[in-house]
Amino acid sequence: MASILKAFLYVQNHPGALVMLTQPTYEKIKTILLPTIRKFFGHLEGSVWEWRAADKEIGFPASGSIIFLRPAEDPSKLRGPTLAAAGMDEIAVGHQDESYAVMQGALRQEGYPTQLWVTSTPDMARAPWLKYRWIDHYLPETEAALPPKDYPAFFAEAEANWHNPSDFITNLKASYGDSQWAEQELYGRFVMVEGIAFPYFNERTHVREMPEGMKTRRAIIGVDFGAISPTACVELVEMEDNRIQATWEFYQRHCTEKQLVEALASRNPKKIVCDPTGKDLIDMLRRYGLPASPARSNNFGLRFRLWGSRLTVGDDGKPGVFLSSRCVNLIAELKHLAHDPKSRGERWSSGLDDHAYDAAAYTLMEFESILGRPKPSFIPRRVFA
């Protein structure tokens, strides 16, 4: 509702302005956005504004302003328009970080103060980029700092919404209980929800750079191919003590053949192991002279057990794998992956990214005794069955 009010106020104060409001999907425009507009401004329809169904826009004939209603699920379909302002609702749903970047580039209507605002429930599992941008004011992909004044954040607790029925919050509190879900859903806080796959993963323990002078045995790169989803590459290095160090990652949505080949070639790899289902892409890498081969397995449970064993801290206080701070996507995925409670541990909850996780898992298979490799010298405190 706040986004709609802001948009209508903007066009009232800026005649001729072109504004866009988005929902994650077109279905939500029909079932949420347009009905809410009519709920609060329906008495003005026909006199102040009109719904132009064919163009999916709200026109203001007297002022010449337009509010476009668009789905944000496909960033390529947001390209083109020139806008004065825009508002994106439920931006944590799906992969709207790219859509947000596209919308920023559309704010170029001359003579108008431009602004892009977003609304969402915080979701560290599916959209950690919200916290990076609006709370930390930092882009981990480029290590660039963002000016805090350009990214103010405003928090609203569910109890502050007096439009809710009297027993609404009481019922929600009873349902969520004293959990991190309540912190996220009722109070809008950036927290990690319960049920994550690797609750013992800790950046203070697992994130470090390769120590100077550390002797290594070999480096292998794992690749998880993506089309619409990101393509991920992770380089793991086997150290003298049999521990593993993640040293480099490549993570790219809509990755082209050229981008992937150039990224891999930049590491001068001796061995590359790939998602075994991507036979044609493996053959493509080979044609470019890259030493690519299919991973030994694509089994979900095996990948989970390998990561679980390696992340566990041994009796000497060290885990079996360390991650460079440059592996930002791998770190984020390990922090936020959670099992679908209905899957009995056979799949992740819907919407979670696991591309860097999978890429590194294919490489872990090359180092483990379970697949015919020497047993690591460290002894984990817990081993997943």
Residue 172 phi/psi, 5-degree rounding, is -65, -45
CA–CA distance, 155 with 137 (Å, rounded to integer): 16
In this structure, whether the domain defined by 203-371 belongs to CATH 3.30.420.280 is answered with: yes
Alpha-carbon Rg of the chain, whole angstroms?
Answer: 24
52-66, 67-81, 111-125, 278-292: the lowest-pLDDT one: 111-125
Model confidence at 105: pLDDT above 80: yes
- The domains of the chain are located at 2-187, 203-371
pLDDT of residue 191: 57
Q: Containing H/E element for 180?
A: helix 180-187
What mean pLDDT is predicted for residues 310-315?
A: 82
Model confidence at 265: pLDDT above 90: yes
pLDDT of residue 177: 61
Q: Whole-number mean pLDDT of the chain? A: 86
Report whether 248 contacts 267 (CB < 8 A). yes
Return all residues near 49 (Cβ < 8 A) that are at least 6 apart. 41, 58, 59, 60
Q: What is the pLDDT of residues 183-241, one digit of tens each?
A: 667 766 665 554 578 877 888 889 999 988 889 999 999 999 997 789 999 999 999 88
What mean pLDDT is predicted for residues 239-266?
A: 94
CATH topology of domain 2-187: Rossmann fold (3.40.50)
- Residue 126's pLDDT band, with cuts at 50, 70 and 90, is low
Percent of the chain with pLDDT over 90: 58
- Residue 180's pLDDT band, with cuts at 50, 70 and 90, is low
Q: What is the pLDDT of residues 238-249, one digit of tens each?
A: 998 889 999 999
Q: What is the pTM of this model?
A: 0.52
Residue 57 phi/psi, 5-degree rounding, is -145, 155
The one-letter amino acid code at 41 reads: F
Model confidence at 306: pLDDT above 80: yes
CA 218 centroid distance within chain: 31
